[in-house]
Amino acid sequence: MMKDRTFFDRHRLQIGLFTVLLVIVFFAFHDSFLYSKTIGKVTEVHTETSGNATNYNTDNDAAKETLYTQTLMVKLLNGKYKGQKIKVSSDYAFSRIDSEKYCRGDRVFLNVKGEDKVESATISGVKRDQYAVLLVAVLIFLVLCIAGKRGVRAIASLLLNIGIFAYSMFLYEKGADLVKMSYLLVVIFTVATVLIVNGPNRRSFAAILSTLLTTFFAIGVFYQALHFGGEIDYASLDYVTGGQDVETIFLAGICLTSLGAVMDVAISIAAGLNEVMEKKPDVKLRQLLTSGREIGYDITGTMVNVLFFTYVCGLFPVLIIKLKNSIRLLTIVRLQIPFEIARFLIGGISILLAIPMSIVVTTVVLKLRRRKKEVQS
């Protein structure tokens, strides 16, 4: 019994956090009463083959895909018909590009017609916000349990950055210069994130200075490449519509493309070199530079690969859809992938530049602090 009490006393914060998040998730799965639109839960599903249709996702014009009809039993969860069970029919194709296959347990939005009773109903979409809340809750729980107070700061910085980014988009809609605003966001995101997560100290100052110098140097490299390489054809950039300054949008994205990775490199090197200085105050400059280089070796490959897989993850669905629509891979690579390649290259260059930049800046900052202490003593 004593061991049980000791365990709960030792982990009461984690247990309290888990309980609060569990209540929030439970509420998200039972929040139908908050919606004005009718919501139902699929309790039974019967699926039958209803025919064939032309499959436009192949090069063969004669190719067919199977069509299915589902008869669903749906229990209404809100509104004046709450508690009633109704039958709803829905069709979907095998490819499911513009149709949905429903499963038992799905919560769906319904368009219901009828006065005293339900005369007809159609499904307008699937309710998925509860799963988003569940994933956010899992993320918060893991961050706080693993990182503790640092996790609280990390979440606070994330929320602040989201708020700042949302406000910047509001200013853009009001006519603010997007590129200049991106420069300002680089500074704000860097300063806010590092200071909130690590606190105001010399190590944070070194990380902030390294990040800003690296990011703006990489942006300068990109502008020089544009100057000597000629203009970019933005006609193939995804989601381009008329009346937009596409070049400005692309350049603004380049400014922010690798900020998080550069910050991570700068903070890692600053923290490592600061630890070396704390353990061995009389460390020589050459040894400190060597230690920073070793830290850089450890994180270079993983950070570049993280950046690569991040871009691949975003590109993969669009790539598959275009291949399915008979667009050749060579055409995609020649016309559309270059934008992602440019982002990846600038990101990779930024990460590589961040290593020597962080080593030099952090070494200078820490050595100056050490000398100042020696003079004062």
Cα separation, 214 vs 342, in Å, equals 17
- Amino acid, single-letter form, for residue 71: T
pLDDT for 1: 45
Predicted confidence pLDDT, tens digits, the chain (377 residues) = 445 556 666 777 888 888 999 999 999 999 988 998 999 999 999 999 888 876 665 556 566 778 899 999 999 998 888 888 999 999 888 877 778 899 999 999 998 887 778 888 889 889 999 999 999 999 999 998 888 888 889 899 999 999 999 999 999 888 888 888 999 999 999 999 999 988 888 888 888 999 999 999 888 888 888 778 766 666 666 666 655 667 778 888 888 877 888 888 888 888 888 888 888 877 787 888 888 888 888 888 788 888 888 888 877 887 887 777 777 888 877 777 777 788 888 888 888 888 888 888 888 887 776 666 665 65
C-alpha torsion 353→355→360→362, nearest 10: 130
Strand ranges in the chain using DSSP code E only, listed in sequence order: 38-54, 64-76, 85-93, 107-113, 120-126
Nearest to 34 by CA among 140, 90, 119, 107: 107
Q: Domain residues of the chain, as ranges?
A: 39-130, 148-376
Per the CB < 8 A criterion, the answer to whether 259 and 211 are in contact is: yes
The two structure tokens encoding residue 128: 């998925």
pLDDT value at position 256?
84
According to CATH, the topology of domain 148-376 is Multidrug efflux transporter AcrB transmembrane fold (1.20.1640)
DSSP state at residue 83: T
8 A C-beta contact, residue 163 and residue 203: no
Q: How many CB atoms lie within 10 A of CB 126?
A: 14
Nearest to 17 by CA among 159, 142, 109: 142
What is residue 66's three-state secondary structure?
strand
The torsion of the CA quartet 216, 218, 222, 225, rounded to 10 degrees, works out to 120
Interacting residues of 337 by C-beta distance below 8 A, sequence separation 6+? 315, 319
Identify whether the C-beta of residue 68 lies closer than 8 Å to the C-beta of residue 100: no
Give the closest residue to 274 by CA, choosing from 198, 216, 342: 198
The tens digit of pLDDT for each residue in 25-84 reads: 999 999 988 998 999 999 999 999 888 876 665 556 566 778 899 999 999 998 888 888
Q: What is the dihedral of CA 317, 318, 320, 323, to 10 degrees?
A: 180
146 bridge partner residues? none
Q: Letter for the amino acid at 156? A: A
The token pair at 167 is 């406000």
Is 204 within 8 Å of 198 (Cβ atoms)? Answer: yes
pLDDT of 14 reads 81
Distance, in Å, from the CA atom of 347 to the CA atom of 218, rounded to the nearest integer, reads 8
Location of structure tokens 């009828």: 114
DSSP secondary structure code for residue 235 in this structure: G
Each residue of 146-180: b (16+ CB within 10 Å) or e?
eeeeebebbbebeeebeeeeeebeeebeeeeebbe
